[in-house]
């Protein structure tokens, strides 16, 4: 059985913010709040049956409103990731967006989809969030009606589907920005390095130093981006030339549009917890929380008073390729009136007795 509960999580601009929690017979729980359609908590049993919350977040609404610059658990839109130069053209018309990361545009702008309170309805084991982004909001054309459907089933899987329609041609690329640590959200970088990761990708999108795609691709073979064979995450990060960072779009191997493809499997051998990711999107951004506070800075205080710091979690953000509106060789990011944007992603959790790869990246 799957049980769904609703409770108050505060108020925003005079509107009630609701928290919805799913629970399965195994004890697996997922909590989502209507503000930002944010994944607030995911509790997963380990191989001894002990529950731990495996996503970073906050205990109160005020922190999400005023301190969630890292987008912990957020639904990100209208366009996730970066748009170079914070502008784009459609049919010869230039649209200027907010420059909120250097000279570029990131994660929907100043007031993106993670900074509004979504409408909601409950349909059985589904909670359906909806938001109307009006024509011109954050510089984007068209009234965009967006729906995010969350569902948990008895298989301890979180099913997420994004759906959007528009009144004008516009740019759409939605994602969820959860920060995962399968050892428990409070355990930090030391345990993140002990995770074992595999990603079904044979190339990445090449980027500039500002993380804007050049339009070219880099084959992962022989590089630190080759995660087709499971590797200990800490060892793989040490191979990185740019200070042990991952913040890159991986291109899904043999991507089939509209089909759910295997994207990634991450395990934490000490606890036995694993996460498998399936999606119908062509890319996935691996991000290792590089911009959370460093050890010599004040920590970002999260749930239970825990201090979150650099490399304390990883993100796997299924998506279209970043800056796709500027690159004809990328899958299109343009949504037309009459068409429907769809993005499905499944987060499957479980427990295994794996002890890690016999040979790890060194």
Token pair, residue 102, equals 């250097």
CA distance 303 to 286: 23
If residue 17 lies in a helix (H) or strand (E), which one and from where to where?
A: strand 15-24
Token pair, residue 284, equals 């996935």
Beta bridge partners of 315: 287
Considering the candidates 195, 311, 317, 343, report the single residue annotated as catalytic: 317
Q: Kindly give the residue spans of alpha helices, DSSP state H, lying in the chain.
A: 61-67, 189-192, 233-238
Based on the residue annotation, tell me whether 327 is a catalytic residue of this protein.
no
Considering the candidates 71, 105, 107, 177, report the single residue annotated as catalytic: 177
CA distance 132 to 146: 6
CA distance 223 to 220: 5
CA distance 190 to 195: 10
Q: What is the DSSP string of 260-292?
A: -EEEEEEEETTTTEEEEEEESSSEEEEE--TTS
Q: Give the count of beta carbons closer than 10 Å to the beta carbon of residue 176.
A: 28
CA distance 3 to 26: 12
* Matching residue, tokens 């420059």: 99
Based on the residue annotation, tell me whether 244 is a catalytic residue of this protein.
no
State the catalytic residues: 177, 317
């Amino acid at each position: 059985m799957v049980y769904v509960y609703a409770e108050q999580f505060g108020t925003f601009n005079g509107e009630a913010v609701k928290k919805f929690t799913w629970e399965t017979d195994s004890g697996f729980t997922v909590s989502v709040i209507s503000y930002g359609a944010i994944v607030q908590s995911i509790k997963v049993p380990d191989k001894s049956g002990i529950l731990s919350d495996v996503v970073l977040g906050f205990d109160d609404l005020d922190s999400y409103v005023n301190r969630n610059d890292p987008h912990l658990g957020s639904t990100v839109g209208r366009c996730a990731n970066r748009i170079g130069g914070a502008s784009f053209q459609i049919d010869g018309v230039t649209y200027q967006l907010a420059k909120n990361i250097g000279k570029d545009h990131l994660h929907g702008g100043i007031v993106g989809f993670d900074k509004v309170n979504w409408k909601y309805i409950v349909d059985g084991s589904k909670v359906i969030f909806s938001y109307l982004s009006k024509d011109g909001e954050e510089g984007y054309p068209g009234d965009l009606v967006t729906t995010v459907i969350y569902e948990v089933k008895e298989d301890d899987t979180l099913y997420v589907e994004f759906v959007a329609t528009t009144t004008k041609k516009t740019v759409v690329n939605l994602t969820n920005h959860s920060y995962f640590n399968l050892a428990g959200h409070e355990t930090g970088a030391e345990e993140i390095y002990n995770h074992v990761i595999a990603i079904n990708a044979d190339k990445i999108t090449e980027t500039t130093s500002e993380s804007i795609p050049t339009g070219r691709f880099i084959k992962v073979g022989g590089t630190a981006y080759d995660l087709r064979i499971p590797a200990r995450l800490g060892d793989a990060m040490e191979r990185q030339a740019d200070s042990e960072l991952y913040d890159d779009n991986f291109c899904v191997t043999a991507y089939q549009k509209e089909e759910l493809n295997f994207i990634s499997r991450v395990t934490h051998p000490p606890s036995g917890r694993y996460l498998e990711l399936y999606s119908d999107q062509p890319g996935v951004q691996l991000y290792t929380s590089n911009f959370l506070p460093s050890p010599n800075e004040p920590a970002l205080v999260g749930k239970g008073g825990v201090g979150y710091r650099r490399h304390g979690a990883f993100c796997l953000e299924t998506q279209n390729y970043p800056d796709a509106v500027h690159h004809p060789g990328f899958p299109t990011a343009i949504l037309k009136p009459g068409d429907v944007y769809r993005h499905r992603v499944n987060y499957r959790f479980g427990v295994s007795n794996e002890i890690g790869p016999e040979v790890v990246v060194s």
